[in-house]
Structure 1
Amino acid sequence: MIHLSCHGAARQVTGSCHLIETGRARVLVDCGLFQGSRELAEDNAEAFGFDPSRIDALVLTHAHLDHCGRIPLLVKRCFRGRIFSTAPTRELARLVLIDAAGLQEEEARRAARHAARRKERAPWPLYTLAEAFHSLDFFDGTASYGEGIEVADGVRATFMNAGHILGSASVLLELEDQGGARTIYVSGDIGSCGRPLLDDPQAPPVPPDYVVMETTYGDRDHRAWSASIDELIEAVAATQARGGNVIIPTFALERAQDVLYALSVGLAQGRLPKHLAVFLDSPMAISATEIFARYPQAMRTDVHARLRAHDPFALPGLRMTRETADSMAINAIRGGAVILAGSGMATGGRVRHHLRHNLGVAHASILFVGYAANGTLARRIIDGARQVRLFDEDITVRAQIHTINGFSAHAGQTELLDWLSRCGTPRGVFLVHGDEDRGMRAFGEQLQRRRQPWHMPSAGETIALP
Structure 2
Amino acid sequence: MLIEERLKELHEKIKRKVPKGITVASVEFEGPELVIYTDDPKSFADQDDLIKILARELRKRIVVRPTILEDPERAVTAIKEVVGDNAGITDIFFEQDTGEVLIEAEKPGVVIGKNGATLRDITKEIGWTPKVVRTPPIESSTVKQVRQYLRAAHQERKELLRRIGRRIHRDVIAKDQWIRVTTLGCCREVGRAAFLLSTPESRILIDCGENPGNSTSTPYLYVPEIHPLTQLDAVVLTHAHLDHCAYIPLLYKYGYTGPVYSTPPTRDLAAMLQLDYLDVMNKEGNTIPYSSNEVKEYIKHSIVINYGCVTDIAPDIKLTFHNAGHILGSAIAHFHIGDGLYNVAFTGDIHYGKSRLFNAATNHFPRLEALLMESTYGGAGDMQPPRAEAEEKLYSIISDVIGRGGKVIIPAFSVGRSQEVMLAIEEGIRLEKLPKMKVYLDGMIKEATAIHTTYPEYLNSDLRNLIFKEGLNPFLSDCFEQVDSPDKREKVITGDPCVVITTSGMLNGGPVMEYLRSLGSDERCALVFVGYQADGTLGRRIQKGWREIPIGNRETLVINLECFTVDGFSGHSDRRQLMNFVSHMQPKPEKIFTIHGEESKTLDLASSIYKKYHIQTMAPMNLETYRLV
Q: Same fold, TM exceeding 0.5?
A: yes
Q: Distance in 1 between matches of 2:512 and 2:429?
A: 24
Which runs of structure 2 are paired with 1:195-274 in the superposition (5 Å)? 195-219=355-379, 220-274=382-436
**Comparing 200-209 and 25-34, the one that deviates more:** 200-209
Partner of 2:235: 58
Q: Which residue of 1 aligns with 2:119?
A: none
> Aligned partners of 1:54 and 1:204: how far apart in 2?
32
TM-score, normalised to structure 2, is: 0.68
Equivalent position amino acid for 2:294 in 1:
E
Contact 2:193 2:219 (8 Å CA) reproduced: no
Matched, 1:354 2:477: no
How does the TM-score come out when normalised to structure 1? 0.91
Whether 1:97 aligns to 2:274 is yes
Residue 529 of structure 2 corresponds to which residue in structure 1?
A: 368
**Which of 252, 259, 262 does residue 85 from structure 1 map onto?**
262
1:397 and 2:574 aligned = no
- Matched residue type, 1:207: R
Of 417, 420, 426 in structure 1, the residue corresponding to residue 589 of structure 2 is 426
CA contact (8 A) 1:16 1:433 kept: yes
Q: 1:202 & 1:429 partners in 2: Cα distance?
A: 16
Counterpart CA distance in 2 for 1:17 and 1:445 is 23
Q: What secondary structure is seen at the aligned counterpart in 2 of 1:331?
A: helix
For residue 7 of structure 1, give the secondary structure of its aligned residue in structure 2. Answer: strand
SS in 2 for 1:357: helix
**Which region of structure 1 is more displaced relative to structure 2, 428-437 or 204-213?**
204-213
**SS of match in other structure, 2:517:** helix
Pair 1:286-2:446 in alignment: yes
| 2:591 counterpart letter in structure 1 | G
**Contact in 1 for aligned 2:449/2:475 (Cα 8 Å):** no
Percent identity, aligned pairs only, is 30
- Seen in structure 2, the aligned counterparts of structure 1 residues 158 and 46 have a Cα distance that, compared at 3 Å, is closer
Q: 1:45 to 1:217 in 2, by over 3 A?
A: closer
Tell me how far 1:192 sits from its aligned partner: 4.0
Q: Quick one: distance in 2 between partners of 1:45 and 1:126?
A: 15
Report how far residue 48 of structure 1 moved.
5.7
Alpha-carbon displacement from aligned partner over 1:282-333 (angstroms, at most 9, x marks no partner) = 2x21111111111111111221334558743343332112334323432223
Give the one of 359, 364, 386 matched to 2:547.
Answer: 386
Contact 2:352–2:581 (8 Å) recurs in 1 = no
Q: Deviations over 1:11-52 (max 9, x none)?
A: 111011111000110011111112113x233x4696366212
CA distance in 1, matches of 2:269, 2:291: 18
Is the 8 Å Cα contact of residues 185 and 220 (structure 2) preserved in structure 1? no
What are the Cα deviations for residues 333-392 of structure 1, in whole angstroms up to 9, with x where unaligned?
A: 3x5121111000000100011111222111111000000000000000111112223453
Aligned to 2:283: 106
Q: Alpha carbons of 1:234 and 1:309: their partners in 2 closer, same or farther (altered >3 Å)?
A: farther
**Contact kept in structure 2, 1:56 and 1:80, CA below 8 Å:** no
> Judging changes above 3 Å, is the alpha-carbon distance between structure 1 residues 331 and 263 closer, same or farther for their aligned structure 2 residues?
same
* 2:348 maps to which of 173, 177, 188: 188
Q: For structure 1, which segment, 302-311 or 415-424, has the greater mean C-alpha deviation from structure 2 after superposition?
A: 302-311
Q: What letter is aligned with 1:93?
A: A
How far 1:145 moved relative to its partner? 1.0
Aligned amino acid, residue 310 of structure 2: G
Residue 261 of structure 1: CA displacement? 0.8
AA of the residue aligned to 2:623: G
* Kept after mapping to 1: 8 A contact 2:594/2:603: no
The residue type paired with residue 102 of structure 1 is D
* Closer/same/farther in 2, CA of residues 442 and 306 from structure 1, 3 Å limit: farther
Closer, same or farther: CA 16–430 of 1 in aligned 2, 3 Å: same
Q: Deviations over 1:162-204 (max 9, x none)?
A: 0111111001101118xx7111011111014120111111124
Separation (CA, whole Å) in 1 of partners of 2:220 and 2:515: 30
Structure 1 residue 271: Cα displacement:
2.2
The CA deviation at 1:103 is 2.5
Q: 2:294 aligns with which of 121, 131, 134?
A: 131
Distance change in 2, residues 1:398/1:192 (3 Å): farther
Contact residue 191 and residue 201 of structure 1 kept, 8 A: yes
Paired letter, 1:201: A
- 2:276 is matched by which residue type in structure 1? D
Is the contact made by 1:346 and 1:376 (CA closer than 8 Å) also made in structure 2?
A: yes
Q: Which runs of 5+ in 1 are unaligned?
A: 112-123
Which residue number in structure 2 is paired with residue 339 of structure 1? 500
Residues in 2 aligned to 1:229 and 1:198: alpha-carbon distance in whole angstroms: 17
Distance of 2:257 and 2:460 partners within structure 1: 36
Could you list the runs of 5+ residues in structure 2 that have no partner in the other structure?
1-177
Greater mean alpha carbon deviation, residues 79-88 or residues 314-323? 314-323
The one of 7, 25, 47 equivalent to 2:222 is 47
Q: Is the 8 A contact 1:102 1:129 kept in 2?
A: no
| 1:68 is the counterpart of 2:245 | yes
1:165 partnered with 2:327: yes
3-state DSSP class of the match of 1:313?
A: helix
CA distance in 1, matches of 2:202, 2:303: 18
Paired residue type of 1:244? G
**Aligned residues: CA RMSD:** 1.8
**1:93 to partner: Cα distance:** 1.1
Query: Which one has more relative contact order, counting CA pairs under 8 Å at least 6 apart?
Result: 1
Task: Name the aligned partner's letter for residue 351 of structure 2.
Answer: G
Cα distance in 1 for residues equivalent to 2:473 and 2:527 = 24
> Is 1:457 matched with 2:620?
yes
8 Å CA contact retained: 2:184, 2:219: no
CA distance in 2, matches of 1:310, 1:257: 15
